[in-house]
Amino acid sequence: MTDRPRFHIIHGTPAPQTEAEKVRERVRKAPKPRTMPQCHRCGGREYVETKIGIGKTATKQRVCFLCAMKGERVIM
């Protein structure tokens, strides 16, 4: 065990204003058409539909494709 803390508390510091963060912010604030789902994490609109089960009992979920590529499962 080390004494180094694993988590640090920050006091409301905004995300660093990098170019990438500016783009993310712009995409998040872009108007959202109701018919077009958007990922709440990356702002992407591309999704894949996953299915558990078969027929009428199947559960479908829309998972962000961009996040899925990064190994994260974000439901849209």
Residue 58 or 72 with smaller CB distance to Zn ion = 72
Name the residues that contact Zn ion, by CB under 5 A.
39, 41-42, 44, 64, 66-67, 74
Q: How far is the CB of 37 from Zn ion (least distance, A)?
A: 10
User: How far is the C-alpha of 39 from the C-alpha of 73, rounded, in Å?
Assistant: 11
Shortest Å distance, C-beta 52 to Zn ion? 20
Strand runs (DSSP E) across the chain, as ranges? 47-52, 59-64
Distance in angstroms (rounded) separating the CA atoms of residues 66 and 72 = 9
Give me the least distance between CB of 76 and Zn ion, in Å please. Answer: 8
